[in-house]
């Protein structure tokens, strides 16, 4: 996934390229902007990771 950052008037704008199109986030820091842009994808990412784990990976 490509993420682009741009500073505009003292604020950060992040654009994440998702399969459904770009997702935008903004914030006072670059990390805040990226977090906001990726937040809608977190549920999907967690579901993919959970599907790929085997039960033995959860033990010890």
Kind and range of the H or E run holding 50: helix 42-52
Asked whether residue 30 is domain-assigned, the answer is yes
Asked whether residue 34 is domain-assigned, the answer is yes
What is residue 23's predicted lDDT score, i.e. its pLDDT? 93
Per-residue pLDDT of the chain (60 residues; tens, 9 = 90+): 789 999 999 999 999 988 888 999 999 999 999 999 999 888 777 777 776 666 565 555
Asked whether residue 26 is domain-assigned, the answer is yes
What is residue 56's predicted lDDT score, i.e. its pLDDT? 60
Asked whether residue 60 is domain-assigned, the answer is no
Q: Do residues 41 and 16 touch, judged by C-beta distance below 8 A? A: yes
Asked whether residue 21 is domain-assigned, the answer is yes
Asked whether residue 40 is domain-assigned, the answer is yes
Quote the number of domains for the chain: 1
Structural domain span for residue 47: 3-54
Q: Tell me the C-alpha to C-alpha distance, in Å, between residue 35 and each of 9, 17, 56.
A: 19, 14, 31
Asked whether residue 12 is domain-assigned, the answer is yes
What is residue 41's predicted lDDT score, i.e. its pLDDT? 84
Q: Tell me the C-alpha to C-alpha distance, in Å, between residue 52 and each of 6, 30, 38, 56.
A: 34, 31, 21, 12
Question: Could you give phi then psi for residue 54, rounded to 5 degrees?
Answer: -100, 150
């Amino acid at each position: 996934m490509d993420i682009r950052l741009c500073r505009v008037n003292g604020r950060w704008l992040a654009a994440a390229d998702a399969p459904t199109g770009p997702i935008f986030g903004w914030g006072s820091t670059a990390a805040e902007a990226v977090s906001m842009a990726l937040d809608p994808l977190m549920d999907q990412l967690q579901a993919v990771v959970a599907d790929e784990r085997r039960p033995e990976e959860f033990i010890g």
